[in-house]
Each structure stands twice: as C-alpha cells, then as structure tokens.
Amino acid sequence: MTRTALSTAELRKPVVAAAAVREFAGGGFHGTTIADVARAAKISPAYVIKLYPSKERLFVTALETCFAQVVESLAAGADRAQDPSPDGVLHAMGGAYAELIGDRTLLMLQVHAQSVADVPEIGAALRAGLRQVVDYAKSRSRASDEAVQRFIAFGQLCHLIVTAQIDDVPEDWARLLTEGIRHPA
C-alpha cells in the first residue's frame, strides 16, 4: 500500500475555506478582506492569494463549502426520517436544516451571497449551490416538484425569520409568518 503525502497547499485549503466561511458570513463580500481571512486561518495574505487568486474565488470557495455542509445536513436529516414518505423525508430534512442554521454562520453567508449575486462568479456559485440543494431534496425525498418548491420556500421563510429575528415578536404579523415553523433553541 502506497501513501500519497498531501502538499501544504492541499492541507491549508480546507483551513482557509473554513476561515472564509466564518469571515464572509460576518462581514459579507464587501466588508471582508483577504487579510481578514488570512488572519483567521493563521497564514499570510500572500499565501491565501496563492491558494485563491481573487477575492471572488475565495468567496466562491466559501459558498461551495457552505452548500456542501447544507447537503450533508439534509442527508443526515433524511437518514433520521422516521416517516419514509416524501413529505416525511422533506420534513426531516427541514428539521436538520433548521438545526444547521441555528448558529447563523451558513445562513448569513447565503444571505451575503444573495446580496452580491450580480458578481458573475458569485451568482453562478449561488445558483450551483441552490441547484445542488434542490436536486438532492428532489432525488432523496422522491417528492413532487410542488412539494420540493414548498420545501425550498419554507427554507427561505426560515432565513427571513432568523435574520429578521422575529421568532419572539408577539405581534400578529410575526405570528402569521412563524406559525408552524420550528427552530431549535
């Protein structure tokens, strides 16, 4: 059995990607610098640029990492589904996603990506990530197109509830939006 040694760059890329997720989630595309990501990854900005030659490429990598974690979470939810029906699987996936966005990091990265989707490279990565989620939800749940659309729509409503912090707003309009939506504490 032969072992292949990983290069320093191959070892550092996941560390930089994780740091990019956290930093861009906090400051967005425009408010985060390559130096911020480098500092969080504990490497030099020059080395980050060597790994990811542009800020757009670094943000895209963060977004790809985000969507990989989302699909992983949906898979874990589907694996735990007690009801194997399409709606039961989607419901379990929704619960897993609600748990995932509980710390807001991946959620905020997606929100920031939506705000700069007009940057061609970022818009393409956002659409690719959404395609990944929709395709996975559809194939894994075996649900109808309408049920998958509802699933994605409720996910976006969850984003709104979490980002606008309306979970505990006691007014009728807020109760209307949050009724039946579950978010782990």
Q: Tell me the CATH number at 159.
A: 1.10.357
Does residue 118 lie in a domain region?
Answer: yes
Specify the range with the lowest mean pLDDT, choosing from 18-27, 41-50, 109-118, 163-172. 163-172
Would you give the distance in Å from CA 165 to the centre of its chain?
18
Does residue 12 lie in a domain region?
Answer: no
So what's the pLDDT on residue 167? 86
Domain of residue 173: give its range: 55-178
Q: What is the dihedral of CA 157, 160, 163, 167, to 10 degrees?
A: -70
Q: Say what percent of the chain tops pLDDT 70.
A: 94
42-73, pLDDT tens digit by residue?
999 999 999 999 999 999 999 999 999 999 99
Could you tell me the CA-to-CA distances from 181 to 57, 69, 97, 144, 167 in Å, in that order? Answer: 35, 22, 12, 21, 9
Does residue 9 lie in a domain region?
Answer: no
Q: What is the pTM of this model?
A: 0.91
Does residue 32 lie in a domain region?
Answer: no
Average pLDDT of the residues in 124-144: 98
Specify the range with the lowest mean pLDDT, choosing from 98-107, 111-120, 143-152. 98-107
Please say if the pLDDT value at position 1 is more than 60. Answer: no
Specify the range with the lowest mean pLDDT, choosing from 6-10, 132-136, 153-157, 174-178. 6-10
* Amino acid in the structure at residue 146: E
Average pLDDT, the chain: 93
- Supply 52's token pair: 């990811």
Total tally of structural domains belonging to the chain: 1
Q: Is residue 102 very low, low, confident or very high in pLDDT (cuts 50, 70, 90)?
A: confident
Does residue 24 lie in a domain region?
Answer: no
Does residue 15 lie in a domain region?
Answer: no
User: In three state form, how does the secondary structure of the chain look?
Assistant: CCCCCCCHHHHHHHHHHHHHHHHHHHHHHHHCCHHHHHHHHCCCHHHHHHHCCCHHHHHHHHHHHHHHHHHHHHHHHHHHCCCCCHHHHHHHHHHHHHHHHHHCHHHHHHHHHHHCCCCHHHHHHHHHHHHHHHHHHHHHHCCCHHHHHHHHHHHHHHHHHHHCCCCCCCCHHHHHHHCCCCCCC
